[in-house]
Amino acid sequence: MTHRAAYVAFDRFPSSKGSAVHIAQMADELFTHHGGGLLATIGGGDLPRYQREGSREIARFDEQIPNLIDRAEAFSGWVAAHLEPHWESLEVCHVRDPWSALPAVADGRRHRVVYEVNGLPSIEMSHTWPWAAPKTLGKIRELERHCLERSDAVVVPSQVIGRAVRDRGVPQGKIHLVPNGADISDTPERPTDAPARYVVYVGALQPWQGLDVLMRAFARLADLADLRLVICASVPERRAKPVRRLAERLGVAERIDWRFTLPHHEVAAWLAHAEVSLAPLTGCTRNLDQGCAPLKVIESMAAGVPVVASDLPAVRELMADGEHGRLVPADRPAELARAVRILLEYPEEAAAMGRRGREHIEDSLTWARSRARLAEVYRSIARVRSDFRGTDTGLSRGI
């Protein structure tokens, strides 16, 4: 079987992370648009190396290589081998990172390349891999530049990330804004083990997520004896040790309920029945200069729950202070705790914020709308024959 489309990501799929939700939506739109395709991702664990579902195939890279750079380079070679059988039939290759993009933008290709930038490893790895040498990060930045330049379209989920991509020399007309989304559905049943009253955090536990800020803020709510914090972590329990040690030092460990790597529908239930959803992103370079597109904020609003989040440019693209929740200065536990306390003291206004947030998602940020934008990107690169050095097609949605 040869394919007209391929979606490639240096991410585990499926998983409990928000990236997996995004991949599922974007890949489904690509394959719907092109009558099937190849999905090439990271595997491991109990995930099969190969699956076939009608006209769709999933191949997973599962080599256990401890060093991240070595693993990324090995993945890139693996991708090249998996694209080779489809080189003549391929029309569009959609990629999410430079290691996926490098084999896709190779000389002699006939297909178009859509590079979806959710983050820039040259920035992000300085936070996730702090021992990386500046020389290594410089090489990654050059790899990013090379792949962005040779792509036919660049898709970004936020304006902040779009500006970071423009700083890499990508023409504005080549950049397409396709935001994250959420589905509006009926309220799921309350989890059977849910506390009577709780606030919730959903997502990963990297330092830029601000879990240390959240712990210190929650310690300031100790007088609310019946209030619990539920953390739906998208990572395995072993990854939570530093945060749990901090919770113990702050005296809040006994008031926190942990849930690890839950399926997406179970996370939705915890969101829907929380009093407040929290997104305490830090004001670091990763969140400010690179930007982000926090799915937790969108999904919380879709669930009708008021959000208390850090007042960062990328978050302001998604929600308005006082309208859908509260925006507070980043890295300020006292301000975060105060905003939560006020919402808890005025439940009617908090509920109204939740309703307005749900309406905002329904009006502007559904997956259906995002997928329609992505479909237009595919149509635009099919209509316009640009050269493979990344010239401006002039057909973006503009950011």
What are the tens digits of pLDDT across the range 170-188? Answer: 999 999 999 999 999 999 9
* Largest Cα span, the chain: 66
Q: Is residue 241 part of a domain?
A: yes
Same domain, 248 and 163: no
Indicate whether 164 and 69 sit together in one domain.
yes
Nearest Cα residue to 118 out of 20, 37, 265: 20
Q: How confident is the model at residue 193 (pLDDT cuts 50, 70, 90)?
A: very high
| Residues 320-341, mean pLDDT to the nearest whole number | 98
- Looking at residue 398, its pLDDT comes to 34
3-class SS of residue 241: helix
Residue 302 forms part of a structural domain: yes
* pLDDT on residue 384: 58
Q: Are residues 208 and 167 in the same domain?
A: no
Q: Are residues 223 and 342 in the same domain?
A: yes
Same domain, 9 and 48: yes
21, 132: one domain? yes
Residues 359, 371 share a domain: no
Average pLDDT, stretch 23-32? 96
Q: What is the mean pLDDT of residues 153-158?
A: 97
Q: Please say if the pLDDT value at position 195 is more than 80.
A: yes
State whether 215 and 118 are in the same domain: no
| One domain, residues 214 and 350 | yes
Residue at 390 is within a domain: no
Instruction: Report the CATH number that the domain containing residue 251 is assigned in CATH.
Output: 3.40.50.2000
- Domains contained in the chain, number: 2
Instruction: Measure CA 151 to chain center.
Output: 21
Q: Specify whether the CB–CB gap between 65 and 39 falls below 8 A.
A: no
Tell me the pLDDT tens digit for each residue of 236-245: 999 999 999 9
Same domain, 310 and 346: yes
The pLDDT assigned to 261 comes to 95
Mean pLDDT of 49-54: 94
CB 377 within 8 A of CB 178: yes
Query: Is there a domain that residue 151 lies in?
Result: yes
**Phi then psi dihedrals of residue 180, to 5 deg:** -65, 165
Please, are residues 154 and 115 in contact by the beta-carbon 8 Å criterion? yes
Regarding whether 359 and 376 lie in a shared domain, the answer is no
Residue 398 placed within a domain: no
Average pLDDT, the chain: 93
Tens digit of each residue's pLDDT (9 = 90 or more) over 277-295: 999 999 998 899 887 889 9
Domain that holds residue 89: 5-181+366-383
Banded model confidence at residue 317, pLDDT cuts 50, 70, 90: very high
Q: How open is the CA angle 159-326-259, to the nearest 5 degrees?
A: 90
The 8-class DSSP code of residue 13 comes to S
- Pull the structure tokens for residue 34: 């092109």
Q: Which of 29-43, 202-216, 251-265, 385-399 has the lowest mean pLDDT?
A: 385-399
Q: In whole angstroms, what is the distance from residue 302 CA to residue 314 CA?
A: 18
Q: Is the dihedral of CA 91, 116, 295, 130 positive or negative?
A: positive
For the stretch 62-120, pLDDT in tens is: 999 999 899 999 999 999 999 999 999 999 999 999 999 999 999 999 999 999 999 99
Residue 388, domain member (yes or no): no
Q: What is the mean pLDDT of residues 306-323?
A: 97
- Candidate from 38-52, 144-158, 341-355, 371-385 with smallest mean pLDDT: 371-385
In a domain, 136, yes or no: yes
The answer to the question of residue 394 being in a domain is: no
Mark whether 313 and 347 lie in a shared domain.
yes
Q: How confident is the model at residue 391 (pLDDT cuts 50, 70, 90)?
A: very low
With tokens 């008031």, the residue in question is 255
Average pLDDT over residues 355-380: 97
Q: Please, which residues have CB within 8 angstroms of residue 51's CB and are 6 or more apart in sequence?
A: 57, 58
**What's the pLDDT score for residue 32?**
95
List Cα–Cα distances, 99 to 105, 136, 252, in angstroms: 11, 14, 41
SS3 track for 292-317:
CCCHHHHHHHHCCCCEEEECCHHHHC
**Percentage with pLDDT > 90 across the chain:** 87
In whole angstroms, give the CA distance from residue 392 to residue 398. Answer: 12
Residue 207 per-residue DSSP state = G
Which phi and psi angles does 344 have, rounded to 5°? -70, -30
- Report which of 158, 69, 168 is spatially closest to residue 118, judged by C-alpha positions: 158
